[in-house]
Amino acid sequence: MTIQTDFHIHSDFSADSHSSMECMIQEGIRLGLKTMCFTDHLDLDFPYEDIRFDLDIPRYRQTFETLREKYESQIELLFGIELGLQPHLSAQLLNVLNHAPFDFVIGSTHLVNRTDPYYPEYFKDRSDCEAFRQYFEEVLKNITSFPHFDALGHLDYIVRYSPNKSKNYQWTDYCDLIDPILSFLIQSDLALEVNTAGLKYGLGQPNPAPEILKRYYQLGGRKITIGSDAHCPAHLAYEFSALPALLSACGFQQYTVYRNRQPYQENFISTP
């Protein structure tokens, strides 16, 4: 049994995508996906003038509902959002969630001290160790300030953009931060995302690294969501075929999907 659900998908409602929602849906159907969850970006107070992530939620929802009805006989479509977390935004983000019927909410850290690691300037005059440590510190601060999401997005996202990629990255160098992050998720009944964009970026592994997934399982974590972080049709369900063996080696036999903010477990490994 293969993974047929993608729970991290962007369309041109996200400022960093140029692909229409319908184009993404049509590709998902062609690939044989049974469920797609759109999770377009809302990053309020984003500090860069050249790109804004102020999601037009009413228009986003209206387009989604129109397409859900159009394609309901071919694929299950779910309505989600990816929130860029910053502690000072907690009240605003909670208000957003209280006024729209999301099926699924990703909480992600995209900024550290008002800088996005996507941009090379973040790594200027910093060692990888310092850059990574500051990122994990920010993740811990963000999730404890705002635990009102369903899954933590791309935990070691920062490694994608390091000039050295994962060459200087060992998760155990940051276990004093990563263990509390994982423990907080478990204690708060929140999921950890397995994001295959790390493979797309040449890391040879998803985000987070398999060793972190193993640690999460050892600590008692069982809820994982699966997402490609696709911003165009070509990256939908990216390298999903590699995940069952990888996740099985980490201890997992199931993954989690969300409908109406409620978790449901699905098998990804066939049983005799």
Position 269 scores a pLDDT of 54
> How does pLDDT run across 13-72, given as a tens digit for each residue?
999 999 999 999 999 999 999 999 999 999 999 998 788 899 999 999 999 999 999 999
Q: List, in sequence order, the alpha helices (H) in the chain.
A: 21-31, 57-71, 90-98, 128-145, 175-187, 197-200, 210-218, 243-250
Backbone angles phi, psi at 227, to 5 degrees: -145, 145
| Alpha carbon of residue 223 to chain centroid | 13
d(CA 41, CA 80): 10
**Size of the chain, expressed as the number of residues it contains:** 272
Q: CB of 96 within 8 A of CB of 78?
A: no
Q: Is the pLDDT of residue 272 over 50?
A: no
183 Cβ neighbours under 8 A, 6+ residues apart: 219
For 119-129, the pLDDT digits (tens) are 999 999 899 99
Residue 1 pLDDT exceeds 50: no
SS3 70: helix
Question: CA nearest 209: which of 268, 150, 160?
Answer: 160
Rg (CA), the chain: 17
Determine the distance from the C-alpha atom of residue 64 to the mean position of all C-alpha atoms in its chain, rounded to a whole number: 19
pTM of the entire predicted model: 0.96
Residue-wise pLDDT for 141-175, tens only, equals 999 999 999 999 999 999 999 999 899 999 999 99
Would you state the structure tokens that stand for residue 38, as one six-digit string?
């759109």
> Which residues, including other chains, have CB under 8 Å from residue 252's CB and lie 6 or more apart?
213, 217, 222, 224, 268
